[in-house]
Structure 1
Amino acid sequence: MSRLKYTILFLYMLACMEICAQHTWIRVNQIGYKPTSKKVAVWVSKENQRVTDFLLRDAATGKIVFQGKASSAFGPYGPFVQSYRLDFSEVTTPGRYIVEVGDVRSSEVRIERGAYNGSADFALRYMRQQRTLFNPFLKDSCHTHDGFTMYGASAGLKDSTKVDVGGGWHDASDYLQYATTSANATYHLLAAYRDFPDAFGDFKQGNGLDGGNGVKDVLDEAKWGLDWLLKMHPSAEIMFNQIADDRDHASMRMPGEDPFYGRGFERPVYFIDGKPQQRGKFLNNTTGTSSTAAKFVSAFNLGAALFRRADPAYAGLLEQRAKTAFDFAHRKLGVTQTVSIKSPYIYAEDNWVDDMELAYATMYAKQKKARYKEGALKYAREEKITPWMIRDTANHYQYYPFINLGHYELAKLLPEDERKEVIAYYKDGIQQVADRARRNAFFRGVPFIWCSNNLTAAFAIQCAWYKELSGDAAFDELMQANIDWLFGVNPWGACMVYGLPAWGDTPTDPHSAFTHLHNYPIDGGLVDGPVYTAIFENLIGIQLHNADEYADFQSDLAVYHDDYGDYSTNEPTMDGTASLIYLLASQEEPSAKNKDRYGATVRGDRTKKQVSLVFTGHDFNDGKDIVADILQKKDVPASFFLTGDFLRHPDNATFIRRIKQRHYIGPHSDKHLLYADWENRDSTLVTKEAFTNDLLSNMKALETHGIGAHTVSVFLPPYEWYNDDVVRWAGNMGFDVVNYTPGLLTAADYTFPAMGERYRGSQELLLDVYHKEKTKGLEGHIILIHLGVDSRREDKFYNKLNQLIDTLQTRGYSFCRIDEMMKE
């Protein structure tokens, strides 16, 4: 080919490139939108174009389903010279759509009620992969020799004393371990289980290997964190802050046994003495013991509350350590920072009163002592707003956790006037961010500091908590914008969670040895996220390894690189992922009817404002006539599960005749047997033959009262305790197993004062129902109450039934029988 032809071809190719080059994009949330949520895409361009309207098309048919008006122009942001918000919230029909402006089309938009379903469990995979001591992903052990002490002389621990602190999670893609981030992560996992248990499944054993164990996987993971925290605070006089230091960064490698610290494979374990500690030629700025110790308190207290019924001994240990950690936090009021040896980078936490507020709030939740409430309020007033929200900047982990968790936990416990005060702190902080956010089309008000994605997830949680506490939906769009940011509505159009969604533009080359050395997936890991360009350009040791696929979207404002060499924007973190897990769980929409891990129905239709009252009876019957009178007076249907012993008792015959025409009556076992071990639920204590005979005997007792087998299809096991065997055996006999809805406390109406902290007064039980209704709704809830209780309990909850029914009816709820609820 002649030189002239080459020249003509070259000029033609340049012209085509100029014509075909893309200058305009539409960013959408790639995981999807829920039908009732705010739904906003962002149009951005490197040209100053004017946008007035947009279209939404059905992705399958091409039919236009919505025509909307664009927002006012937001102008320049990052690499773009013009930007608009495209709000299609009016579209609530589930489906697949495309957003169009002129000839520019978005990627496919999903509108689906369950858009986030399964996402919290998916992110939990990263937490398991971060485990140390035994790593279930690798099916191998690591860091089994930890460790030798530093700075523990005040507790009688000479430097290099051997201690056993193996366990917990690696902090990020390095293998350091910090009590402050681990305690915060543990708290988030526990809170996720407490607040959204239906979002999680049971697919793993406690050690993280395949196979359910009767415990939700998120609670297994939280316990892994608690077990390690117990090792890091083994006694009243000893508390450690971290394992290893930045000598770890000698190489990128898979987790194993590290020989970098001069003691074979042992790693240093840094004691909390409340004083500055050496980091190379510098000292950190530690001023006290409060920040880390207080985080121990809150994690232990919440763990104790959640394990109290299933494992009382473990709960007792957590409560005991919460008390000693609380004392440790007061040894020297101030902040505990981490230690490094070679580099200037540490977790430079600078605030601690927020940690103390949360510690006091969890102590108050457990003991209801005025001094804990007063202490929590005192510290709440000392840091009303997390400082980065006001300053719009911070050093690395300077204000940690990234939102004040204590405000949420405290507000739930306070009377109305003080409650409003604490809620207002959340509102004021959100407003500070909102004022910045509304200046740009992405509604971005979170600063691009290191780990900006962690702040983004945390801030979205604060918005959700504010709405829950106040009922004010003013920040819904801002909350959704922060969620959308994490899943593609950002200048780079990048999702920030490895592998989520599977069809999205998610990280493929994160700063992780798992992916870099062996191409192992790090499913669910939340990467650090964009940083200010000025920060990126001044960090030590960053070198991009590949061509930058996001080069068109970098700017003088901020950068993000999906590149192994960029530890500042593309490294996943354990604590950020734990926060994300809570956020994702809050967005999940379980199916209309819910079964637990064993297959028992524990909730009815979530879309209907109805509840089912369930009463059980065995050896106590003192409340039977009161219950029957109230139900008759209120004309409310209910369900009764009665044992053979109850049915055969002559004192109960008249009562049974009263209820059998209006209400459902079903079996509760003949002799109220314990079918499964309390400590190991998968351990069945009866044979199939014994179970079958027990249930058949129960049915015969029902038949003596004219209740035929053809009318009975639902079974509630005794003690509300069962496992896979029981559900399967009952199913083989034609019974559906049912239980009360998890999270309700009414089933604790059997307790009496001599049980100590397990005792729950009737007013507490009633207020718990009201609080759950107000904050989360009771649609489809199954509410269990006992027909009689031990005489040592004078405060009978069934005496509150009239008030409970009136209140729920006033709030718009209807009542149905359990068999009717399960048919719908």
Structure 2
Amino acid sequence: MPTAASSPRPRRLAATLLTSSLLVGGLLTTPAAAAVGSDAAATTAVRVNQVGYLPDGPKRATVVTTATQPLTWQLREASGTAVASGATVPRGADTPSGQSVQVADFSSFQGSGSGYVLTVDGSSSVPFDLRANLYDGLRSDAMAFFHHQRSGTPFDASLVGSAHARPAGHLGVAPNKGDTSVPCQAGVCDYTQDVRGGWYDAGDHGKYVVNGGISTWLMVNSFERAKRAGKDAALGDSSLKVPERGNGVPDVLDEARWELDFLMRMQVPEGKPYAGMAFHKIHDAAWTGMPLRPDQDPQPRELHRPSTAATLNLAAAAAQCARVYRAYDPAFADRCLSAARKAWTAARANPALYAPDSDSTGGGAYGDTTVSDEFYWAAAELYATTDESGYRDAATDSSWHTSSTAFSAYGFGWADTAALGRLTLATVPNGLPAADRDRIRTSVTAAADGYLSRMAAQGYAVPVPADGYFWGSNGEVANDAIVLAVAGELTGKERYRTGALETMDYLLGRNALGQSYVSGYGETSSQNQHHRFWDPIRASRTAPSG
């Protein structure tokens, strides 16, 4: 059995791939409310972060040009007055895009304001801002995505706007069959399970534990990191438009709890075969048509057989829950820890129960036959929460504890989770020997340095490999930025903050398409993302098979 992924795996757009926490302050990226952009902006040769830049952060742009000599750049205020100028640095061919590019660096200018434009060789960028609160709105809009993905709750116009208000989905109200009493696929079990709640997958009405586990971890981890940095107020109570606002609990934890409750409902009950394991997924018997609101879905729902990977996702996410939620709801924390312990024990008893790749009717298969990384991640979370020697030994005895490939070349993701264990052991206080703790922390900074080297070698400063652009690769970019941000937390070195911020530049327009990949942010932003109930294309469109 291999110990690390040797090639990139296809990533369908799960919540964890649409939304990945980046900076210690809780910065997230995801499609927000759609806005109509300018088609002309997409053709400009001067590619910038279309939202803007932090006054004290890096400010670089990529210029598509066949020129081989340096070009003069000017930074102009909204009035047209030039406030800074300099020369570009020729980079030649950018391998991933095939474009010939140069880079303009105007980081030395630290003014603030709106409507700045960068001009190079007769071409002008789209207007952008320079301000310290640049990402505050994006953070809350990004987090709103999870609320919109909730299953089993109505959406009030006061929270989501009239265009997105809708009844609860899959609670058994006709035409729904409901998720409150879901049978298994034939031959999997002879009972029904209440699996209401949770988040729908980004692309369909299914709910997947291996996506939910890492998505929940990312959300709760963003709060843990923000709290360590003293910036948790940005993710605190009433910071988001969620029904629970005002309850004294940070809103980011309220949102994550919606999924955590679902993940624990997916656990096989005591007295049943595979007790303590987690069902791999639940979705429609056949692919859901599009566009179709969840409350209008008439199909029968099915539970799919338990898997070791799903069970370990539950163990890891629930163990993290027990640690972070204890200050707000000790009873819920106890429930999470009990579920995590049961899941760990069940996974140890069933270490090779894999979800079959053939199980792809009505939902993604999410097959994963390498689960040693999930064992490492779950052990690390349980150890960080309990300080118990059994979990410590399981983590330190894992080949992933010393493997140089824990931080995959393609970043971490739902199928590659060893890095999550490393990040937890590097940052959450624990009883590892100082030398081991320092080695773990060094592995984080080494991975981050590798991403920085890769960024320096590319014209668009992207941390993924030249062949790393696949479905969901923007999530990989953001996940790499988390590693950079944690390296910055561990060392205080500015270069890691710089790298994390430059990934935002890529996601928000400094890329080969000259397009912001975050809907509603930037002059030209992505539209019509693959989605079952937000897809504007009429029902005559054929539903994809994956």
Specify if TM > 0.5. yes
Return the alpha-carbon distance in structure 2 between the equivalents of residues 248 and 44 of structure 1. Answer: 42
Residues matched between the structures, number:
471
2:118 to 88, 92, 99: 99
Aligned to 1:451: 472
Q: Give yes or no for the alignment of 1:408 onto 2:423.
A: yes
Report Cα offsets for 1:453-477 as digits up to 9, x if no partner: 1111101101111222234444444
Q: Which residue of 2 aligns with 1:253?
A: 292
Q: Distance in 2 between matches of 1:378 and 1:464?
A: 27
- For residues 187 and 449 of structure 2, the distance between their equivalents in structure 1, rounded to whole angstroms, comes to 44
1:174 aligned to 204, 217, 242, which one? Answer: 204
* Cα displacement (A) at 1:52: 3.5
8 Å CA contact 1:176–1:248 kept in 2: the answer is: no
For residues 23 and 242 of structure 1, do their structure 2 counterparts lie closer, same or farther at Cα, with a shift above 3 Å needed? closer
* Alpha carbons 1:83, 1:441 under 8 Å: kept: yes
- For 1:324 and 1:346, how far apart are their aligned partners in 2? 25
For 1:200, the aligned partner's letter is L
Aligned to 1:228: 262
Partner of 1:439: 457
1:203-226 CA-partner distances (Å, limit 9, x unpaired): 4999x4486333332111111011
**Larger Rg: 1 or 2?**
1
Shift of the 335–122 alpha-carbon distance from structure 1 to 2, 3 Å rule, reads farther
Q: Distance in 2 between matches of 1:107 and 1:205?
A: 30
Note closer, same or farther for the CA distance 1:74–1:443 as it changes in structure 2 (3 Å cut).
Answer: farther
Amino acid at match of 1:450: W
Following superposition of structure 1 onto structure 2, how do residues 353-368 of structure 1 map, counting pairs within 5 Å? Answer: 353-368=372-387
Question: What does residue 531 of structure 1 align with?
Answer: none
1:276-425 residue pairs with structure 2 within 5 A?
A: 289=308, 291-334=309-352, 336-337=354-355, 340-342=359-361, 346-379=365-398, 380-381=400-401, 383-386=403-406, 388-389=408-409, 399-401=415-417, 404-412=419-427, 413=430, 414-425=432-443
Q: Is the 8 A contact 2:411 2:480 kept in 1?
A: no
Change (3 A) 1:116 1:344: closer
2:156 is aligned with 1:124: no
Residues 74, 84 of structure 2: 8 Å contact kept: yes
Q: CA deviation at 1:479?
A: 2.8
SS of residue paired to 1:214: coil
CA contact (8 A) 2:235 2:250 kept: yes
Give the counterpart letter for 2:165 in structure 1.
L
Match of 1:712 in 2: none
Q: In structure 2, which of residues 72, 83, 100 is the aligned counterpart of residue 82 of structure 1? A: 100
Pairing 1:215–2:231 present: no
| Equivalent in 504, 509, 512 of residue 483 of structure 1 | 504
Indicate the SS of the match to 2:380.
helix
What letter is aligned with 2:416?
A: Y
CA distance in 2, matches of 1:364, 1:166: 30
Q: CA deviation at 1:318?
A: 1.3
Q: Which amino acid aligns with 2:170?
A: H
Deviation at 1:341, TM superposition (A): 4.1
Using the alignment, how far apart are the partners of 1:342 and 1:514 within structure 2?
Answer: 19
Secondary structure class of the residue paired with 1:41 = strand
Secondary structure at 1:30 match in 2: coil
Mapped partners of 1:27, 1:566: distance in 2? 33
TM-score by length of 2: 0.77
Q: C-alpha distance in 1, partners of 2:379/2:142?
A: 30
2: CA distance between counterparts of 1:388 and 1:122? 29
Higher relative contact order by CA 8 Å / sep ≥ 6: 1 or 2? 2
Q: Deviations over 1:302-329 (max 9, x none)?
A: 2222332332222221121111111122
Q: Percent identity?
A: 24
TM-aligned CA deviation for residue 152 of structure 1: 7.3
Whether the 8 Å CA contact 1:254–1:514 is kept in 2: the answer is yes
Confirm or deny: 8 A CA contact 1:407 1:426 kept in the other structure: yes
Query: Is the 1:297–1:359 contact (alpha carbons within 8 Å) kept by the matching residues of 2?
Result: yes
Alignment of 1:509-524 (within 5 A): 509-517=528-536
Match of residue 59, structure 2, among 22, 32, 39: 39
Deviations 1:704-735 (A, max 9, x none): xxxxxxxxxxxxxxxxxxxxxxxxxxxxxxxx
Aligned to 2:174: none
> Does 2:135 correspond to 1:108?
no
Q: Which residue of 1 aligns with 2:16?
A: none
Assess, with a 3 A threshold, how the Cα gap between structure 1 residues 542 and 416 changes in structure 2: closer, same or farther: farther
In the TM superposition, residue 345 of structure 1 has moved relative to its aligned partner by: 5.6
2:519 corresponds to which of 498, 515, 518: 498
- In structure 2, the residue matched to 1:164 is 194
- Per the TM alignment, residue 542 of structure 1 is displaced from its structure 2 partner at its CA by 10
SS in 1 for 2:529: coil
Is the CA contact (8 Å cut-off) linking 1:34 and 1:115 kept in structure 2?
A: yes
Is the Cα–Cα contact under 8 Å of residues 393 and 449 in structure 1 kept in the other structure? no
Shift of 1:353: 2.8
Change (3 A) 1:90 1:341: closer
C-alpha separation in 1, matches of 2:369 and 2:495: 31
**In 1: Cα distance, 2:81 partner to 2:240 partner:** 48
| Residue ranges of structure 2 left out of the alignment (5+ in a row) | 1-39, 156-163, 172-177, 227-231
> How far does residue 344 in structure 1 lie from its aligned partner after superposition?
10
Deviations 1:94-120 (A, max 9, x none): 223221213211112322111111322
Give unpaired runs (5+ residues) of structure 1: 1-19, 275-288, 520-540, 544-564, 569-824
Match of 2:55, as an amino acid? P
Deviations 1:644-678 (A, max 9, x none): xxxxxxxxxxxxxxxxxxxxxxxxxxxxxxxxxxx
3-state SS in 2 of match to 1:241:
strand
Deviation at 1:58, TM superposition (A): 2.0
How far apart, in 1, do the equivalents of 2:108 and 2:118 lie? 14
1:141 to 165, 168, 190: 168
Q: Distance in 2 between matches of 1:470 and 1:306?
A: 24
- CA shift in 2, pair 1:246/1:74, >3 Å: farther
